[in-house]
Structure 1
Amino acid sequence: MSWDQNISQGELRLSAGAVDTLVKDLQPVLAKALSDLTEAGTSFAPWTAGARMTGASDGWGTALRTLQQTFADHAEGLRGLANGTDVMEQEILSKFRGW
């Protein structure tokens, strides 16, 4: 089996940008969903369902914020990898320049 591991720095940076866009686009949608669930929990506060909705909102809020941060971290990692390969290529070029 042959593995093609040749990914350009441009592709890495484009992928990082796509992830950044995903995080930005998801932010208002997720905020609205969590706000609606929190409002529902408040509305149903006198019943046992209210406490469950509030708990679900808290749990989902934590999970979704973690997911957004993980996406953002991966985007930063893709940019770091692209930058690192640029530096490595420059170092290799400088070593072989005098040959």
Structure 2
Amino acid sequence: MNIDQAAKALKELGHPTRLAVYKRLAKAGSDGIAVGVVQDELGIPGSTLSHHLTSLTSAGLINQRREGRVLYCVAQYEQLSALMMFLQEECCADQLDPVPPIKANR
């Protein structure tokens, strides 16, 4: 993941409604969840939810699939994992004297 992709994903997750939607999709697992269920559970109007889903899709955080008349959304866990790895990859790299681990008292 490059810095532009990370910035886009973080921007989209930075909106409270989109974050709530993404958390619900992540909870649903790899089968995803019907958009109508998300709408009912979170109390988001259809047009507003559609806007937020478009934003999450454009950032690569979710995919959508249609089964008949039902639209399902699926969290893309690989993209979330890549984002977390991007944020952690250089953690403490500039630290000359790393903090020693805390020893348990005996």
Query: Could you tell me the TM-score, scaled by structure 2's length?
Result: 0.27
TM-score of the pair, normalised by structure 1: 0.28
Greater strand proportion = 2
- Which of the two has higher C-alpha Rg? 1
* Larger relative helix fraction: 1
